[in-house]
A and B are shown apart, each in its own frame.
Chain A
Amino acid sequence: MNIVLQVWRQDSPESRGGFKTYQVKDISEEMSFLEMLDILNERLINQGEEPIAFDHDCREGICGTCGVMINGQAHGPQQGTATCQLHMRKFQDGETVVVEPWRATGFPLIRDLVVDRSAFDRIVEGGGYISVDTGSAPDANLIPIPKLVADTAFDAAACIGCGACVAACPNGAANLFTAAKISHLNLLPQGQSERWSRTENMVEIMEEFFGSCTNHGECEKACPKQISIDFIALMNADYVKAKFKNRRLVSQNG
């Protein structure tokens, strides 16, 4: 099949970028979207043009490295699918496909389709962990966790940190990512000790980089792991509780 590719090219964060059109001929429907980009890059190198920079790694939809806007949708038209798992059979022969990087102030552009997502690391640093030094853990079966709770925690923990939620959100908000991280730990008994401080810190760090949630639900549809926005509701509830809850227990001392 043949497609017409309009790709965002930008040499550096400072330079002006723009769309460039490429005719990509004779590609197989069995190819993944990134393999199609590989082929285009191979052809560009042969023509003496610098290949398109794009982030990618595992190509199994789990590492979260890849991710571009394809025809105005984060990770492209197939729901529940990361860019690397999207295949060309989802496109029409002769179709024009527009490829753009994630756009968000929290994700500054590095080059072409590559953006810097380290703001996510800052959010996790704020409390996306359970403080347990190596060696201090009790036996794993000491605390039974209802299957449903463990499963729901997993649903949240499935987040691959690709940033599609931010890219898709009309407000550039990272609430789904943060909610997934927070809910994973807040749902589990092990995560209770730090529940309120975690929620407070992570939400506030998130808001330094990203926009606010106005409940469009666009993130949930873009998420390659189809993480539910119900987790955002859980996070909101926990944040409010964290702010109102009496955590100090005593306030007067002699």
Chain B
Amino acid sequence: MTTTLESKVPSGPLADKWENHKFSVRLVNPNNKRKFKIIIVGSGLAGASAAATLGELGYNVEVFTFHDTPRRAHSIAAQGGINAAKNYHNDGDSVYRLFYDTIKGGDYRSREANVHRLAEVSLNIIDQATAQGVPFAREYGGLLDNRSFGGAQVSRTFYARGATGQQLLLGAYSALMRQVETGKVKLHTRIEMLDVVKKDGRAVGIVTRDLVTGEVKSHSAHAVVLATGGYSNAYFLSTNAMACNVSAIWRAHRQGAAFANPCYTQIHPTCIPASDEFQSKLTLMSESLRNDGRIWVPKSADDKRGPNEIPPEDRDYYLERMYPAFGNLVPRDVASRASKRMVDSGKGVGPLENGVYLDFQSAIEREGKDVIEDRYSNLFEMYNRITDENPYKVPMRIYPAPHYTMGGLWVDYNLMTTVPGLYAIGEANFSDHGANRLGASALMQGLADGYFVLPYTIGDYLADYLGDSVVPTDDPVFNEVEDAVSGRVDGYLSANGTRSVDWFHKELGKIMLDQCGMSRSESGLQKALSDIPALYEEFQSDMRVLGTNESMNQSLEKAGRVDDFFELAQAMCVDALARDESCGGHFREEFQTDEGEALRDDENFAHVASWFWTGDAGNPELVKEELEFENVALTTRSYK
């Protein structure tokens, strides 16, 4: 087992690290690239862009997705935009400023070199996407438009109405499909990866299950790339798509890949509050709404008047009041916690008193309804469809919801996990966002990893294996994992208990939301760590999965995913408990200022907490990667 983590961050000045690294990594000759096979699991922004680019370079790529087509990946639901330090608007943006904002927004818990690289390649992403035909918003002169986003004082967010993720994913998907057509990329749809296979300590392939026929099958390759997204669905109610899960990276973790910072989760401030107990998921309303919307609650908790009947003097625009410099555009974690405080103090609005108002009245008066319609019409329509309320007339009701997970598989500067030959890109890794992700940075990171980072760095690993053929899939290492996977599947089918998998998922979600959500406490986390294993045991003995393995069986798929969530949830709580500080999305009630702001402990916790699987989900082994800050001074984040 690895006990030290080598980040492989290149030496030299910050701004030159990536350039130097690109020169120093080994390359694979164009004629030799076709001799290598690379498996990519996941077809979202990171997976599709990596697959397309590696295919263009000449590698043999196989892409696996459990969706019916690569274009369904949840990247598609990102609404707001993508950051890039283009400084097209001459408002003082630069690569360094984007780097700085991201480090600061992440509450100084990310690697400087990674973040700087991200800021550098952000420029190329916009160029690449535009060339692919992504219809970014434009000004009347025909040039690209930008909007501002939380946590930044410049306008650097490129967007395509409220569907930037969709358009970027369709761009990456189209590039991927071009490679599928040429035969460089082979596409496997409705196939779910259920385990990683290792030989001599290296990743040599994966084992999958066909979601239509139930066939369990091995696939071998020279390298395996996981681009399988985040694990917010550990909370059951989140803004993630229903199928989003942790299984791929969790199985990799169990095979020896360190899991970094599992407790860093982001609770997005602007989601539509739940309307009843049967809610299956929460819907996010783009953060860009905070550009023009003003957030408020009634000053008095007893004020039961309708929003339009409450006069301005009885409204508390609490973000503007508490953070005058950034106002409604404070970072997500800050905005979310403020909303939670308001609702907890009884000022929540709506039928269940579980939201705060996001009001567009002054923006409509200032800019005119047409302008607001142009910017947000699709979001307003979506809100109207879900709530049956008209946001042009009545303020929206919003409340925070789990949305993104900064934690993920630990990767070095080359995006390789602690298992040689196994890579993690996009939300699946932990790399660039520290303890809190800024808005419009997820798309940037996914595409940076896929288009511009992994294609360079993967060659450095492959160069060693030139001439080696892939491990045949009838090798005992594959058989062993196949058997284990089939055993798990059979186990779910034969449990024959009394409760559905969904029921357990919901119960797990409640524990996680209460104890490991927007705010955490030692006692709460300890309670969770005793409740979760108990529920897990019940899950294993009392779950009820009907049907067979041999035909499409959605509850069976779900059983495996929830199984892994149970183990992950324990790791999240263990990590949250070990991190005796508040930073970014991780807020420990014991560590706060008198005003209720997060209190960081840079002396003891300026590190990446990487956990290794020990066989006991509640008791992983911690290895720390100390974070070194050579360029930015660690200050208390202030958005006042």
Q: Which residues of A contact B (CB under 8 A)?
A: 11-12, 27-28, 30-32, 34-35, 38-39, 41-42, 45-46, 48-51, 53, 55-65, 78, 80-81, 85-87, 89, 110-111, 114, 116-118, 120-121, 124-126, 128-141, 144-147, 150-151, 153-154, 157-158, 160-161, 184-185, 188, 190-191
Contacts and interface: CB of A to CB of B under 8 A. Distances in A.
A36 B372 CA distance: 34
Contacts of A116: 68
A161 B71 contact: yes
Interface stretch (B95-103, B161-169, B336-344): B161-169
B619 interface: no
Interface of B: 49, 52-53, 56, 67-74, 76-77, 86, 88, 124, 126-133, 135-144, 160-161, 163, 165-167, 170, 173-175, 177-178, 180-181, 187, 189, 212, 241-243, 275-276, 278-281, 283-284, 381-382, 385-386, 388, 451-452, 455, 498, 500, 502-503, 544, 546-547, 551-555
Contacts of B72: 57-58, 63-65
Contacts of B498: 46
Contacts of B544: 45
A30 B276 contact: yes
Contacts of B242: 56-59
A57 B142 contact: no
B130 A60 contact: no
Given A46-B500, A140-B130, A60 B142 contact: no
A231 to B, nearest CB: 14
Contacts of B76: 58, 62-63, 160
Contacts of A128: 174, 177
B166 A160 contact: yes
Nearest to B162: A62
Contacts of A86: 385
Contact of A129 (B77, B132, B142, B276): B132
Contacts of B128: 132, 134-135, 137
Given A125-B180, A129-B132, 10 more contacts: A30-B276, A39-B278, A45-B500, A46-B498, A53-B553, A57-B243, A59-B281, A62-B77, A118-B69, A140-B129
Given A63-B241, A117-B68, A31 B124 contact: no
Nearest to B280: A35
A93 to B, nearest CB: 16
Nearest to B548: A50
Contacts of A124: 173-174, 177
B68 A129 contact: no
B177 A125 contact: yes
27 contacts: A31-B278, A39-B278, A50-B546, A50-B547, A51-B546, A57-B243, A58-B77, A58-B241, A60-B284, A62-B76, A62-B166, A65-B67, A110-B212, A121-B70, A121-B177, A128-B177, A132-B132, A134-B451, A137-B124, A137-B127, A138-B127, A140-B127, A147-B138, A150-B138, A154-B135, A160-B166, A185-B133
A163 to B, nearest CB: 10
B68 A65 contact: yes
Given A48-B546, A87-B385, A137-B127, A59 B280 contact: yes
Contacts of A39: 278
Contacts, number: 218
A21 B88 CA distance: 59
B178 A131 contact: yes
B74 A57 contact: yes
A134 B180 contact: no
A134 B74 contact: no
Given A35-B279, A38-B278, A141 B88 contact: yes
Contacts of B284: 60
Contact of B554 (A12, A53, A134, A184): A53
A250 B74 CA distance: 47
Given A80-B381, A147-B139, A134 B56 contact: yes
B56 A53 contact: no
A184 B133 contact: yes
Nearest to A45: B500
Nearest to B141: A144
Nearest to B546: A50
A60 B283 contact: yes
B135 A140 contact: no
B76 to A, nearest CB: 5
Contacts of A56: 242
B440 to A, nearest CB: 16
